[in-house]
């Protein structure tokens, strides 16, 4: 539980936004000895990374995971302190007839035989996955952003993957990562994520994703004011909705792209939406902590996970928590998704789905900024011409890594000017 502190009349650095980018920036400034204060319009920290407790279940506001291979997670996050729990590498894919297991034979050798036998793509496709994995891991992570940028769909075709394999495996898998199934997202991000999934684990904190911002906020105790919405921002001062003014030598605007456009002017980024329904299940529909993918493409569910297999505290003893998510058109209407998801999943798992109890559905309209081909080349930039410093995932790319990286760059811009 984060205690809200009183607003100071003045501070050396004022960070607007206690999402991951703002917390990263403020933590690094505090560690460098800067008198820093953080404000957020919401009632707690975390921004888009929030978890609710409902009937003893832990519901993240939209399915999300952290990748241990993210460079900024390695340098900024105390993974042991978060007590992270890992998904098993690989996935199960519904191919229209049955669930097929697609493991990662390099990190989970026991899955090799099942993966090769899986009726998802051809043997040649699986060899291409292995060779892409080897090539990306052989180079530095920066190389992922150096190749030519095109859409991920074009990249996969150029790499020679068959259309059935793209449709059955890559489309739902990357659809869950990019939150769009058309694979219009920049190929730089495809290379980056593919490398991260090969190099590390997908994890969640044992007691929900919100533990991540809460842990980051701990060293900032007494320096965070909640329920404080910045209404006017200028170099040297910020005015809040109730007219209160805080003076600060450095003002760091670490809000989402939409709020940044409202506060600072300029165009808001285009966002992608997602929807997640949570169900309480007396019996788990799959036995492993694996991602389950809709390779058939009928939707509305694109990806599913039994969260209590990954981290048991997500469900009370004797129960399981099923998370089912949709993207694109499926994310337009939360009620329609919650009603249609069990109908689709009954085909995957049979009549046991009838015993699931719907807990809650989250529709997140502004989940991730869109990153079309060509957009990644111009990412970054913290200090504006007017002296304000900006941070936020939309400046790098929509991910925990992008938010933490932009937060670090903002802190470095402040420190460099001192």
Ligand X SMILES: Cc1cc2nc3c(=O)[nH]c(=O)nc-3n(C[C@H](O)[C@H](O)[C@H](O)COP(=O)(O)OP(=O)(O)OC[C@H]3O[C@@H](n4cnc5c(N)ncnc54)[C@H](O)[C@@H]3O)c2cc1C
Binding site residues, ligand X, CB under 6 A: 16-22, 39-42, 47-49, 62, 64-65, 229-230, 254-256, 259, 263, 274, 364, 367-368, 392-393, 398-403
Count how many residues are written for the chain.
418
Angle 61-69-120 from CA coordinates, rounded to 5° = 75
Using the minimum distance from each CB to ligand X, give the nearer residue, 70 or 349: 70
DSSP category for residue 181: S
- The torsion angle over the Cα atoms of residues 101, 107, 108 and 111, rounded to 10 degrees, is 40
Nearest approach in angstroms of CB 396 to ligand X is: 9
Residue number, 117 or 229, with CB nearest to ligand X:
229
Which C-beta is closer to ligand X: that of 263 or that of 341? 263
Closer to ligand X by Cβ: residue 95 or 185: 185
| Closer by beta carbon to ligand X, 105 or else 299 | 299
Q: How far is the CB of 252 from ligand X (least distance, A)?
A: 11
Q: Are 4 and 224 in contact (CB under 8 A)?
A: yes
Element (H, E) at 256: none
Least distance from ligand X to the Cβ atom of residue 238, Å: 9
- The nearer residue to ligand X, 255 or 292, going by C-beta atoms, is 255
Smallest gap from residue 380 Cβ to ligand X (A):
14
Query: Two tokens at 85?
Result: 């729990």
In angstroms, what is the minimal distance from the CB of 225 to ligand X?
9
Residue with tokens 């842990």: 215
Q: Distance (Å, rounded) from C-alpha 292 to C-alpha 353? A: 15
Task: Give whichever of 161 and 197 is closer to ligand X, judged by the CB atom.
Answer: 197
- Residue closer to ligand X (CB basis): 46 or 105: 46
Using an 8 Å Cβ cutoff, are 136 and 198 in contact? Answer: yes
- Number of helices (H), then strands (E), belonging to the chain: the values are 14, 19
| CA angle at 127 for the pair 125 and 128, rounded to the nearest 5° | 65
CB of 224 to ligand X, least distance (A): 11
Residue 175 in contact with residue 297, Cβ under 8 Å? no
Residue 400: CB minimum distance to ligand X, A? 4
Concatenated DSSP letters of 287-300: SSS-EEEE-S---S
At closest approach, how far in Å is the CB of 39 from ligand X? Answer: 5
Pairing status of strand 271-281 against strand 320-327 = antiparallel
First to last CA, the chain: 33
């Amino acid at each position: 539980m984060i205690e809200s502190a009183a607003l100071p009349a003045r501070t050396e650095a004022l960070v607007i936004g206690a999402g991951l980018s703002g917390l990263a920036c403020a933590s690094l400034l505090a560690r460098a000895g800067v008198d820093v204060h953080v404000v957020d319009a919401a009632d707690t920290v975390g921004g888009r990374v929030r978890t609710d407790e409902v009937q003893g279940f832990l519901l993240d506001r939209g399915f999300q995971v952290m990748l241990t291979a993210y460079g900024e997670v390695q340098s900024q996050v105390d993974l042991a302190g978060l007590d992270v729990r890992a998904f098993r590498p690989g996935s199960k894919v519904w191919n229209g007839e049955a669930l097929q297991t697609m493991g990662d034979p390099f990190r989970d050798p026991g899955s090799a035989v099942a993966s090769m036998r899986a009726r998802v793509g051809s043997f040649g496709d699986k060899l291409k996955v292995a060779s892409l994995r080897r090539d990306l891991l052989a180079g530095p992570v920066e190389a992922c952003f150096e190749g030519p940028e095109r859409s991920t769909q074009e990249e996969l075709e150029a790499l020679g993957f068959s259309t059935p394999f793209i449709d059955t495996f890559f489309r739902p898998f990357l659809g869950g990562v990019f939150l769009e199934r058309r694979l219009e997202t920049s190929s730089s991000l495809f290379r980056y994520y593919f490398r991260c999934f090969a190099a590390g684990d997908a994890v969640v904190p044992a007691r929900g994703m919100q533990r991540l911002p809460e842990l980051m906020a701990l060293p900032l105790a007494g320096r965070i004011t909640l329920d404080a919405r910045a209404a006017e921002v200028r170099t040297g001062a910020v005015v809040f909705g109730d007219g209160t003014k805080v003076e600060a030598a450095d003002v760091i605007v670490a809000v989402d792209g939409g709020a940044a456009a409202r506060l600072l002017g300029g165009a808001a980024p285009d966002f992608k939406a997602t929807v997640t329904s949570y169900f309480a299940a007396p019996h788990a529909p799959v036995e492993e902590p694996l991602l389950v993918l809709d390779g058939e493409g009928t939707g509305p569910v694109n990806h599913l996970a039994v969260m209590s297999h990954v981290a048991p505290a997500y469900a009370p003893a004797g129960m399981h928590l099923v998370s089912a998510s949709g993207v694109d058109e499926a994310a337009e209407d939360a009620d329609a998704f919650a009603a249609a998801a069990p109908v689709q999943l009954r085909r995957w798992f049979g009549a046991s789905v009838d015993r699931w109890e719907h807990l809650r559905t989250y529709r997140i309209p502004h989940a991730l900024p869109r990153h079309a081909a060509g957009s990644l080349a111009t990412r970054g930039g913290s200090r504006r011409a007017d002296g304000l410093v900006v941070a936020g995932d939309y400046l790098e790319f929509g991910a925990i890594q992008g938010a933490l990286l932009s937060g670090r760059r903002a802190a470095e811009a402040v420190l460099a000017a001192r």
